[in-house]
Every structure is written in C-alpha cells, then in structure tokens.
C-alpha cells in the first residue's frame, strides 16, 4: 500500500503537472524551432507572440461570455481559440511583410534578424500591455477538476490524493491532436515536405522549384497557430500575465535547443525534458521516501535537490550542459 501511495504522490506532484507544462512548452518550442529551421534566426518574440494570441483569445472569450455562449463543462476559451488564431496569423503576416521580408530579401545575417525580432518583441509587448494591461487575468470557466483529491482517496482508499485538473487533460488532448496534425503535415503533405526541404538546403530547394514565399508564409501561419494554442493552454492552466509569457520565452528556447534546434520533433520532446527536469529537481522527496523506507531510517530533511526558486535555473543549466557536450541537441538538429 505504501508503495502505491508513493507512486500516486509522484504522479500527483510531478508527472501530471510536468506533462501539462511540458506540452505547453513543447508547442512553443516547436514553432521556435520551425522558424529557426526555415527562416534561420532566433525568434525572440516567441513568448510575446504567445501572449498576443492568448490576449485575443481572452477578449473573444469575454465577448462570448457576455453573449451567454459557453461550452458547458469545457472552457469557453476553446471556442475562442480559432478567432485568436486568425488575428495572430494576420498579425504575423503583416509583421513579416512590413519588417522581416526586407531583411530576408537583402539576405541579412541571422544576427540582424534576431535583433529585428527584438524590435518586434518590444512592439508586441507594448500592444499587449496597451490593450489588456499588465495584470494577472484568469479566463477559465467550466468544470475545474476531473478528479478531486478527496474523491480519489474515497475511490481507492489510499492516503494520497490524485488531482487532475480539466485544463491538464485538455492541454494534453489538444497538444496530441495539434502535434499529430503538424507532423502529418510536415511529413506527408507536399507543402510540408517542401518546407523540410527548404529547411535542409535552401539553394537546392529553390532549384527544385519550391516557392520560398509560400514556405515562409506557411511557417508563419503555423507559428501563429502554435503560439496561440500553446499560450491559451498555459493561460487556462495557470493564468495570463504578459510578463510571465515573456519569461516563458527562456524555457522555450531551452527546450528548442535541447531538442536540437531546427528539428521540430526534437523540440517537442525537448519541452518535456525541460519541464520534467525542472519539476524533478525542485521537488521535495521527503514524503516519497517516508512511504518507501522503513520507519527507522526515515529522512529528516526535505530531500529537495534545489529550492523551487531555481526552477528556471535548472532548465538553463541543462541547456548549458547540452550546448557543451552535444551542441546539436539531444535529437540532432542543425549542427552549430
């Protein structure tokens, strides 16, 4: 019984939260990785693009709520996501036309484009803050829990409860759907293949008649879709605050690089690597060992490797280690 308790404890505090956080990071990392692979620069607006998409989703959610439309047990935001996506797509395409296309045409070095993306980062951040303000917003409605700790305890007769929030399940569900569609698109369709070809070897792709404009446009559209979905899922699960989203850029980059930048599948896994390591390293294992070990050698200390304050630091340390020992990422992305 103690053993099962210990497992449930880990499930509740590590596995479930890390899985949903990892999915949110993974969605971000995939589009950062895609942009890196196809447009060839580090897209520093990543976090803020996510907050931009989320903001419009929230605005539409509020609008629907005011109209009295809801999805019952599911959050209304799910209904609003497509509208948020549309505005975000429009925004990235306009941004590309006004800002990025010029540098692409001039064949500027990637560093230049990264700098330009810092400019757009400032602008995006300003737009988000001007429209919705810098404050914490919660826009979740519908059923909050799928499984409450108490119900679980009653059901199984265990000491430890298992809580599963509906947002966590939704996150996982949506991520699986979106990512499978994306990989099907990249691997099976003609457009997807042309994108991968363009990413592998630009000159060769151009020679074989791939239209670069189309590839770039589709990349941006995918980025907008992933950013909005990832951002909204994060906002549903936790809460929406522009500053947090900006900060999320850092673990997202870490995930993309750990997975091998330019390699979307690696980035997808990288998101989970980062999320799990963040939570595994900062979790206090005391209770876990109390269940497992006999009473005589029960631990006194918290058995926490690092305090939770260092959550971010963990993922960055992993990144540094990966960069040192395997600069192309765990799953072989572009060689740096």
Partner 1 sequence: MRNNRDVILAYSIMLGLIILVGFLQSWSIALSILCLCLISAVMTMGANIQWGYAGLINFGIMGYTALGGLAAVLVSVPPVREAWQVGGLNMILCALLIALMVFSVRFIIKKYKKSNKRNYGIAAVIIVGLIFLRLISGPAIESIEAVNPATTGFLGGMGFPILFSWIVGAFFAGGLAYVIGKIALGLRADYLAIATLLISEIVIAVIKHEDWLSRGVKNVIGLKRPVPYEIDLQNKEWFIDLVARFNQGTLNLITDALEKEQMLKQLVIEGSTVFVKLCFAGLFTAVVIILLIVTQKALYSPWGRMMRAIRDNEEAANAMGKNVVKQHLLIFVLGSAIVGIAGAMMVTYDGLFTPGSYRPMRYTFLIWVMVIVGGSGNNFGAVLGGFAVWFLWIEAAPIALFLINFFTTGLEETNVLRLHLIDSIPYFRFLMMGIGLLLIMRYRPKGILPEKIKQV
Which spans of this chain sit near partner 1 (rule: CB under 8 A)? 41-42, 99, 102, 109-112, 114-116, 118-127, 129-130, 133-134, 246, 250, 253-254, 257, 301, 307, 309-310, 312-313, 316-317, 319-320, 323-325, 327, 336
**Which residue lies nearer to partner 1 by CB, 74 or 99?**
99
Given a contact cutoff of 8 angstroms between Cβ atoms, the answer to whether 190 and 181 are in contact is no
CA distance 330 to 239: 31
**Which residue lies nearer to partner 1 by CB, 82 or 133?**
133
CA distance 301 to 63: 50
> Closest approach of Cβ 277 to partner 1, in Å?
14
Question: What DSSP designation does 241 have?
Answer: -
**Which residue lies nearer to partner 1 by CB, 120 or 175?**
120
What pairs with residue 164 in β-bridges? Answer: 147
Non-local (6+) Cβ contacts of 45 within 8 A are 117, 118, 120, 121, 124
Render 260-302 in DSSP notation, one character per residue.
-TT-HHHHHHHHHHHHHHHHHHHSB-HHHHHHHS-GGG---S-
**Which residue lies nearer to partner 1 by CB, 86 or 93?**
93
**Which residue lies nearer to partner 1 by CB, 239 or 317?**
317
> Closest approach of Cβ 230 to partner 1, in Å?
19
> Closest approach of Cβ 21 to partner 1, in Å?
18
> Closest approach of Cβ 107 to partner 1, in Å?
14
**Which residue lies nearer to partner 1 by CB, 18 or 319?**
319
Q: Residue 186's CB: how many other CB atoms inside 10 A?
A: 19
> Closest approach of Cβ 229 to partner 1, in Å?
23
CA distance 154 to 164: 15
> Closest approach of Cβ 261 to partner 1, in Å?
8
Helix 242-258 vs helix 110-132: crossing angle, to nearest 10 = 150
> Closest approach of Cβ 26 to partner 1, in Å?
18
Given a contact cutoff of 8 angstroms between Cβ atoms, the answer to whether 195 and 262 are in contact is no
**Which residue lies nearer to partner 1 by CB, 195 or 281?**
281
């Amino acid at each position: 019984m103690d053993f099962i308790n210990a497992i449930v404890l880990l499930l509740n505090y590590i596995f479930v939260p890390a899985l949903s956080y990892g999915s949110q990071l993974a969605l971000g990392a995939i589009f950062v990785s895609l942009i890196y692979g196809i447009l060839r620069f580090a897209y520093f607006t990543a976090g803020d693009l996510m907050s931009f998409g989320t903001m419009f989703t929230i605005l539409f959610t509020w609008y629907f709520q005011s109209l009295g439309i809801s999805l019952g047990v599911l959050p209304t935001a799910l209904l609003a996501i497509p509208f948020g996506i549309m505005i975000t797509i429009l925004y990235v395409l306009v941004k590309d036309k006004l800002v990025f296309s010029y540098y692409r045409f001039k064949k500027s070095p990637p560093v230049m484009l990264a700098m330009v993306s810092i400019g757009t980062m400032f602008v995006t951040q300003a737009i988000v803050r001007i429209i919705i303000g810098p404050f914490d917003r919660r826009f979740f409605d519908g059923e909050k829990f799928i499984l409450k700790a108490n119900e679980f305890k009653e059901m199984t007769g265990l000491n430890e409860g298992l809580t599963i929030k509906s947002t966590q399940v939704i996150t996982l569900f949506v991520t699986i759907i979106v990512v499978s569609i994306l990989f099907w698109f990249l691997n099976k369709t003609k457009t997807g293949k042309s994108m991968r070809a363009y990413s592998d070897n630009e000159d060769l792709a151009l020679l074989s008649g791939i239209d670069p404009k189309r590839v770039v446009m589709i990349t941006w559209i995918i980025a907008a879709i992933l950013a909005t979905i990832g951002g909204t899922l994060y906002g549903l699960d936790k809460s929406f605050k522009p500053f947090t989203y900006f900060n999320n850029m850092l673990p997202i980059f870490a995930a993309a690089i750990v997975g091998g930048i330019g390699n979307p599948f690696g980035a997808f896994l990288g998101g989970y690597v980062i999320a799990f390591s963040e939570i595994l390293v900062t979790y206090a294992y005391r209770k876990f060992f109390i269940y497992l070990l006999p009473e005589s050698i029960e631990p006194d200390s918290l058995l926490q490797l690092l305090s939770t304050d260092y959550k971010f630091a963990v993922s960055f340390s992993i990144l540094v280690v990966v960069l040192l020992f395997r600069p192309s990422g765990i799953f072989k992305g572009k060689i740096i």
